[in-house]
Structure 1
């Protein structure tokens, strides 16, 4: 799921703040980015706008090197995605569809569980990610997710718990 490279249909200060924090994290300032996102999470709250919760939790998970911490945020992201309506998503950006979020969200959960050595749970989520890959665009982003799904699937089969070099977030 990507939320930082799209042009919003309607200005959304919260999504802009999430994007700014993500950009900060991508420049190597993971601690500061986590702090900004946690502050935003406090403002949004666990019952706030599901799109905001999904985007924030998805990106916050990527800023945690510890797979248990990432897992907690990835679960929140998937739960929030299940509450996002197509109408709300269209208000944010007319080109997005909620179905296209699920491959990435399930991939991240599979990777978290794999890194924690919970291979059965990892396999369930990688199967879910594979089931949603037809919803991905045929572009470099979609191709990179399809590749990552197969990389994680292979790592699950090998019972490998090491961090993928292609995983988003701070380097190990």
Structure 2
């Protein structure tokens, strides 16, 4: 997780190409059948570093697939406060956003509905409020609206 977080921070501080390269290398090391926490985290952050919506959606789908394999016990070994179900609103919202930008309003609305179903799982903190606000403000029919968590 240390290497993943370091790469993510590179992307957040203005070096997205380097972050994408490092995260892709880590993904290649662990593979899709690796530790579910690592896979989910890597895929989630790799999605944000893609050049196309299609590539972004593929990584978002990998993140969602990995979270289905992630247990609360595993997540809490890394950080005791982590709640796996709290990952779902953001993951679903990201997929809704990709579908919206691709003009797939039906799937966008379906993923948005799934995000809403899981809002109660979010913590009462700034992260939780950010996701709640993004879900509340999401416009499923506007492909020019690029809001993401």
TM range (shorter): over 0.9
Task: Describe the SS at the equivalent of 1:39.
Answer: helix
Instruction: Give the RMSD, CA atoms, in angstroms.
Output: 1.1
- Counterpart CA distance in 2 for 1:134 and 1:148 is 14
2:76 to 81, 90, 102: 90
Asked if residue 160 in structure 1 is aligned to residue 142 in structure 2, the reply is: yes
Distance 1:163 1:31 in 2: 24
| Dislocated runs of 4+, deviation >6 Å | none
Tell me by how many angstroms 1:59 deviates: 0.6
Q: Secondary structure at the match of 1:18?
A: helix
Structure 2 length as normaliser, TM-score? Answer: 0.96
Name the structure 2 match of 1:131: 117
The correspondence for 2:95, drawn from 101, 105, 109, is 109
Residues 16-165 of structure 1 correspond to what in structure 2 (within 5 A)? 16-152=2-138, 155-156=139-140, 159-164=141-146
* Deviation sequence 1:46-81 (CA, Å, 0-9, x none): 111111000000011011242111100000000000
Q: Distance in 2 between matches of 1:90 and 1:49?
A: 14
Listed one character per residue, the Cα deviations across residues 134-161 of structure 1 (whole Å, up to 9, x for unaligned) are 0011111111101111222xx21xx211
1:4 alignment counterpart: none
**Structure 1, gaps ≥5 residues long:** 1-14
Cα distance in structure 1, aligned partners of 2:148 and 2:83: 23
* Cα distance change of structure 1 residues 161 and 52 upon mapping to structure 2, 3 Å threshold: same
Question: How many matched pairs?
Answer: 149
